[in-house]
Amino acid sequence: MLKTKSLHFAYNPHQKFHFPDFELRHKENMLILGESGIGKTTLLHLLAGLLAPASGTVQLDGTDFSGLSSGKLDRFRGNHIGIVFQRPRFIQALTLEENLYLAQYLANKKRDDNRLSEVLKRLGIARHRKARAHRLSQGEQQRAAIALALINHPSLILADEPTSSLDDKNCSAVSELLLEQAEATAAMLVVITHDQRLKEIFHNTLELSGYNTHAPLQQAS
Ligand SMILES: Nc1ncnc2c1ncn2[C@@H]1O[C@H](COP(=O)(O)OP(=O)(O)OP(=O)(O)O)[C@@H](O)[C@H]1O
């Protein structure tokens, strides 16, 4: 289960974020919506343990992030959380498969060719495994970013604007792919976006509508 409680964060004293509490169980998914600059990526980074809250807690399957040293948190993230970043974070000098092997290595996992082939096949990019990341088309890079997030069987998948630069056809394909993959691995899926098209695909939504500490936000469903 993913659970947040009284999450506060500030980049500076003038802009304070207070995020609503929510819980998500395995196989559940949630869309976090809100206008540009409202704090969606900030919340996603708190859920990934990439940012530490000023106060409040994030718990994933009983592990409270605040109880982990930064090294332990990095390993925990590598093993349990898959992140689809807004801009794919590949090492451009490496091939797609080398990037995926590296992700397995960094999570202290054994090199697993079967898993790699399975993920690439499911995402329809198996023929590109020997290609360098920058040679892939935008849509292929998007799917490769999902492969990178899924390779280590995460229990939580976090996706930052995975469809914002895609046309309608690829937008549905990518969202269905994320939902399918989450379902297949009993993972939780959190997608943040300002892409209103996703409202038709995801039913559990959390709308961020303000970020001062005196205006707690509400969870909608
Ligand atoms: N590293 C940072 N240092 C200072 N301010 C930051 C930093 N990152 C983000 N901000 C500010 O915090 C606010 C929220 O940013 P965030 O990226 O979380 O918003 P967002 O809702 O994801 O926006 P978008 O939809 O445009 O990506 C913005 O005003 C942004 O300028």
**Pair 211, 46: CB distance under 8 Å:** no
Domain membership of residue 46 (yes or no) is yes
Domain membership of residue 201 (yes or no) is yes
Domain that holds residue 69: 2-207
Alpha-carbon distance values, 138 to 16, 141, 186 (Å): 35, 5, 28
Rounded CA-CA distance 189/2 in Å is 10
Give the distance (Å) from ligand 1 centre to CA of residue 38. Answer: 7
**pLDDT tens figures, 59-90:** 999 999 998 999 999 989 988 999 998 777 88
Q: CA angle 61-88-166, nearest 5°?
A: 105
**pLDDT tens figures, 103-140:** 999 888 899 999 999 889 888 899 999 999 888 888 88
Domain membership of residue 220 (yes or no) is no
User: Which residue has the least CA distance to atom 10 on ligand 1?
Assistant: 11
Give the distance (Å) from ligand 1 centre to CA of residue 43. Answer: 10
The CATH number that applies at residue 67 is: 3.40.50.300
ipTM above 0.95, yes or no: yes
Q: What is the reported pTM?
A: 0.87
Residue 36 CB less than 6 A away from ligand 1: yes
Q: Number of structural domains, the chain?
A: 1
Rounded CA-CA distance 146/117 in Å is 14
Domain membership of residue 221 (yes or no) is no
